Amino acid sequence: MSMHTPTTATADGTSATTSSETSNGSSTVVTLARHGRTPWHKGNRYTGSSDVPIDEIGRNQAESLAAWARDAKPDLLYASTMLRARQTAAPVAEALGLQVQTDERMCELDFGEMEGRTLAELREENPRAVELFEQDAAAHHLPGGEHPEAAADRATAALSDIVARHQGRDILLVCHNTLIRLVVCRYLGIPLGAYRTILRGIDPVATTRFSFRPDGTVMLDYYNRPTHG
């Protein structure tokens, strides 16, 4: 199910100061889009820091994101530095005549021992690790992987910098499934350990939009909205 109800939150700490007074007094809009499908989506293998390209279906999905962007008309285009994000952003850049700007802080989490594997495979090998992960995905994150708190910190810091550079503008940023859910949790005050149970996974090239308002609050305009049929 997609979530479309606007929700307002006051950001906290370093991730909160993303919305200072803009020169024109308007919100800065940031739309986060997940990249297109990769070969590892089949079987739900963890891709994480592995630089896997998008597949043929993913390329079609990227074209659908470009079609959506022609109507949405963002002012600026960003992507994580990962190949699958840049490949998904490329048709948008061509359609709108925009340059793809990249930020490595918006890359997906490193999933450690889970890279290229499924949760079912880890469950056979280490059922207790999976049990704890499913109870609290932050306190018991995947073995050898990046801590979700660190990922949320770097992503919200990146968004803070991007918003500060482009106040009052409309920005499209292509990034990643788990990272987007962690960002949503951080801005809305949801415990990061609940990102898998509170928020369903982001569909390929679906969009999640925030408005960073002049009063310092961040509004979730919608979550996981499809851009293609």
Q: What tens digit of pLDDT does each residue of 72-123 get?
A: 999 999 999 999 999 999 999 999 999 999 999 999 999 999 999 999 999 9
Architecture of domain 7-42+52-110+147-225: 3-Layer(aba) Sandwich (3.40)
Confidence of residue 228 (pLDDT cuts 50, 70, 90): confident
Q: What pLDDT digit, counting tens, does each position of 162-191 carry? A: 999 999 999 999 999 999 999 999 999 999
Distance from chain centroid for Cα 224:
10
**Range with lowest mean pLDDT among 41-45, 67-71, 157-161, 205-209:** 41-45
Distance (Å, rounded) from C-alpha 225 to C-alpha 229?
Answer: 11
The rounded distance, in Å, linking the Cα atoms of 194 and 21 is 32
Give the chain's mean pLDDT: 90
Statement: residue 41 has pLDDT above 50: yes
Give the pTM.
0.89
Between these two residues, 43 and 89, which has the higher pLDDT value? 89
